[in-house]
Chain A
Amino acid sequence: MEFPKDLKYTKEHEWVRIESNIVTVGITDYAQDSLGDVVYLELPEEGATVTKDETFGVVESVKAVSDLFSPISGTVIEVNDALVDNPEVINDDPYGDAWMLKVEMSNSGELKDLLTADEYKKYVEEEK
């Protein structure tokens, strides 16, 4: 199970990569492993507004449906449409090609609520 150090995490198992005012969002290795084979993904449109802790999409495995929760508030400036067509990439490369959204943050103060890799790893181990 991987927990890249350069990312931040949520307890709902999303990861965030921060580059100045833009963040990239995806789901973690632990999340994809728990879901099993991902077969369906719904993401918001470019230009949509997302709000911290509210759902921004849905991911489905063969067996289960899971909501995706936004780690931060802001405006969606880019959507990974290729991933919607090939959602199984989430299982293969959760931190790379399986990025979901790029969001322009409206309140960078929200970043302080995110977990570090070590904190998230500890959280996941306790959840098991």
Chain B
Amino acid sequence: MIVANKKIKLTPLNQIHKDLNAKLISFAGWEMPVQYTGVIDEHLAVRKSAGLFDVSHMGEIEVSGPKATDAVQDMTTNDASKLKDGHVQYTLLCYPDGGVVDDVLLYKFSNTKYMFCVNAANTEKDYIWIKEHVGHNVAVRNLSDFFGQIAIQGPLSQPILQNACNLDLSLIRYYHFKEGNIADANAIISRTGYTGEDGFEIYAPWDKTANIWHELMERGSKFGIKPVGLGARDTLRLEMGFPLYGNELNDATTPLEAGIDRFVKLNKRYFIGIDALKKQAQMGINKRIVGFEMIGAGIPRSHYKIFDKARLVGEITSGTLSPSLGKAIGMGYVKTELSSVGTKLDIEIRKKNITARIVKVPFYTRTVAQAAVNPS
């Protein structure tokens, strides 16, 4: 992303990352840690024990007022009317043509107060989009400069966070949240994440975020907690087949093509984009997201072309060497008729066609012990 004439933004944890000798990169206008000890090491820490992520770059947008429920219901694809206070929902903002504005988490505080957690690269765009589409009697506030955000992810997240927190975390179920206190700071504690592991996302005032980080690193040290950068954040989400806006999702791709139709409720009375998506559901989609595992040698990467013999049939959107599985994996769009599991296609890697096989996602499945908390 190009951020013209804008100074790079720093999270409240920037100095901590520098003190930890993290490798810093520019991401969506922010200086962010891409790795501390190494992507594989950090990735495996999250799968085995716990990892701490600075996700303060994410945007938070509050929608409030007497008509807030109608407003969020009319601009999101999932059914916001099903949400109860203290629930979180994965949902999408769409354009009238069905393309995706952003994929977001929707937090319900009450019938008159909601909060969206949005992708860092989209915060400004989403804020304008939401403001333009909420209608009367609804206030929209961009709280992104107020909230810092830390994610603690991994099977040992709960015991670590419990020691630092005044709430009984066992009472917060997956995709639920509560307001509480961590390291003397008021915080929103949400049992959500982007790794496929149990864990929490913590929203706290900007200037309190560093205290929470230190507290959790200290409490977590005997559990093997590690700071985790954007590198492992990406490999963790990719092993789960979670889409990333800018890779799997964009304004020219619909949620039906992206395989996230279970978050699109076409039986709703209305939401922006419903007509286009109903029509597409009826006509059928031309391309569909799939997961690949390489059979030949090579690692698929974003924008590599996908061939069926000599015919170009799609493009890779994300790919890596999976640290948990030790295999080269990727996601991409292919023509719908070629999208069934088991289909063999070729990925063009440095002008050579290398065989890959379509596999089920998620690529990585949690063990029974790790799956104590079930996704709803």
Q: Is A122 an interface residue (CB 8 A)?
A: no
Tally of contacts, chain A with chain B, CB under 8 A: 37
Known: A36-B231, A40-B298. A61 touches B39 (CB 8 A): yes
Q: Is A124 an interface residue (CB 8 A)?
A: no
Nearest neighbor of A64 in chain B, beta-carbon distance = B301
Binary interface encoding of chain B residues 306-343 relative to chain A, with 1 for a CB under 8 A from any of its CBs, else 0: 00000000000000110100001000000000000000
Chain A residues with CB under 8 A of B235:
62
Binary interface encoding of chain A residues 19-61 relative to chain B, with 1 for a CB under 8 A from any of its CBs, else 0: 0000000000000000011011010000000000000001011
Known: A36-B35, A36-B231, A40-B321. A62 touches B301 (CB 8 A): no
Extra contacts, 20 of them, besides A39-B321, A40-B299 (Cβ < 8 A), are A36-B35, A36-B38, A36-B231, A37-B39, A37-B40, A39-B299, A40-B297, A40-B298, A40-B321, A40-B328, A42-B350, A60-B321, A61-B39, A62-B40, A62-B231, A62-B321, A62-B323, A63-B234, A65-B299, A65-B301
Q: Is B34 an interface residue (CB 8 A)?
A: yes
> Which of A39, A58, A60 counts the most B-chain CB atoms under 10 A from its CB?
A39
A33 nearest CB across to chain B (Å): 9
Known: A58-B350, A62-B231, A65-B301. A36 touches B321 (CB 8 A): no
Bound form: Cα–Cα A60–B231 in Å: 14
Bound form: Cα–Cα A42–B235 in Å: 22
Nearest neighbor of A65 in chain B, beta-carbon distance = B301
Bound form: Cα–Cα A65–B316 in Å: 15
- Interface range on chain A: under 10, 10 to 19, 20 to 34, or 35 or more? 10 to 19
B39 nearest CB across to chain A (Å): 4
B contacts, CB < 8 Å to A:
23, 34-35, 38-41, 231, 234-235, 297-299, 301, 320-321, 323, 328, 350
Pull 9 A–B residue pairs with CB atoms less than 8 Å apart, ordered by A. A36-B23, A36-B39, A37-B38, A37-B39, A39-B299, A58-B350, A62-B321, A62-B323, A63-B39
Chain A residues with CB under 8 A of B234:
63
> Which of A37, A40, A42 counts the most B-chain CB atoms under 10 A from its CB?
A37
A contacts, CB < 8 Å to B:
36-37, 39-40, 42, 58, 60-63, 65
Bound form: Cα–Cα A34–B26 in Å: 15
B298, A63: Cβ atoms closer than 8 Å: no
The 5 closest A-B pairs by CB, nearest first: A39-B321, A62-B39, A37-B40, A37-B38, A63-B231
Chain A residues with CB under 8 A of B23:
36
A54 nearest CB across to chain B (Å): 14
Chain A residues with CB under 8 A of B299:
39-40, 60, 65
Bound form: Cα–Cα A26–B38 in Å: 21
Nearest neighbor of A87 in chain B, beta-carbon distance = B321
Bound form: Cα–Cα A79–B335 in Å: 40
Chain B residues with CB under 8 A of A61:
39
Nearest neighbor of B39 in chain A, beta-carbon distance = A62
A82 nearest CB across to chain B (Å): 16
Bound form: Cα–Cα A84–B180 in Å: 51
A70 nearest CB across to chain B (Å): 16
Bound form: Cα–Cα A90–B38 in Å: 14
Nearest neighbor of A33 in chain B, beta-carbon distance = B23
Bound form: Cα–Cα A42–B234 in Å: 24
> Which of A40, A60, A61, A63 counts the most B-chain CB atoms under 10 A from its CB?
A63
B339 nearest CB across to chain A (Å): 26
A58 nearest CB across to chain B (Å): 7
Chain A residues with CB under 8 A of B39:
36-37, 61-63
Residue in A42, A58, A63 whose beta carbon sits within 8 Å of that of B320 in the complex: A63
Bound form: Cα–Cα A63–B321 in Å: 9
Bound form: Cα–Cα A53–B35 in Å: 30
Nearest neighbor of A61 in chain B, beta-carbon distance = B39
Bound form: Cα–Cα A39–B323 in Å: 9
Nearest neighbor of B41 in chain A, beta-carbon distance = A37
Chain B residues with CB under 8 A of A65:
299, 301
Bound form: Cα–Cα A42–B349 in Å: 12
A29 nearest CB across to chain B (Å): 15
A38 nearest CB across to chain B (Å): 10
Nearest neighbor of B38 in chain A, beta-carbon distance = A37
